[in-house]
């Protein structure tokens, strides 16, 4: 067997091996992208894994003040000094009518992954998951009650 035939055979075996390995990997459902957000399929059903108590809420509030308030404002209304005035309605986390669209997991993955426009910096390089879950718990307390 000459060198060229041997090289072709090695390449073919390598490709078949890679295909066999890929076929055995469990397939992950693709993340969905809506409005610039990248959300995994389980985002809507993911619950905060941390027990929500006064200590967690205090931690979440402190992190919110340090990392989120400059855009979302002190009360979460989207009126912080660095807020995009054209996106204030999207940044307002107090709106009861948006609560159903933003359960724990959706808020978590929106903040974790961020988006370009309107700007929401991803926090995955700045916060741990536990810190972000504390913020999620705190943010959920900012919601105004729904009116009937």
| CATH code for position 89 | 1.10.760.10
Domain membership flag for residue 25? no
Domain membership flag for residue 83? yes
Domain membership flag for residue 22? no
Is pTM beyond 0.85? Reply is no
pLDDT-flagged residues of the chain (< 50): 6-8, 10, 12-29
- Give the position of tokens 């929500």: 52
Domain membership flag for residue 15? no
Domain membership flag for residue 132? yes
Please give the pLDDT value at position 14.
46
For the chain, what is the domain count? Answer: 1
Give me the domain span that covers residue 99.
Answer: 30-140
Domain membership flag for residue 4? no
Label residue 115 exposed, middle or buried (CB < 10 Å: 0-12, 13-18, 19+): middle
Domain membership flag for residue 73? yes
Please give the pLDDT value at position 3.
63
């Amino acid at each position: 067997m000459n060198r060229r035939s041997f090289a072709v055979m090695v390449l073919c075996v390598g490709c078949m091996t890679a295909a066999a390995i890929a076929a055995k990997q469990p397939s992950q459902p693709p993340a969905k992208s809506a409005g610039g957000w990248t959300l995994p399929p389980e985002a809507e059903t993911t619950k905060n894994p941390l027990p929500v108590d006064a200590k967690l809420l205090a931690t979440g509030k402190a992190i919110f003040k340090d990392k989120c308030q400059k855009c979302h404002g002190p009360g979460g209304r989207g009126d912080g000094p660095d807020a995009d005035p054209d996106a204030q309605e999207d940044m307002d986390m107090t709106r009861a009518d948006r609560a159903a669209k933003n359960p724990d997991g959706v808020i978590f993955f929106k903040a974790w992954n961020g988006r370009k426009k309107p700007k929401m910096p991803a926090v995955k390089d700045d916060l741990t998951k536990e810190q972000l879950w504390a913020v999620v718990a705190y943010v959920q307390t900012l919601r105004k009650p729904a009116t009937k």
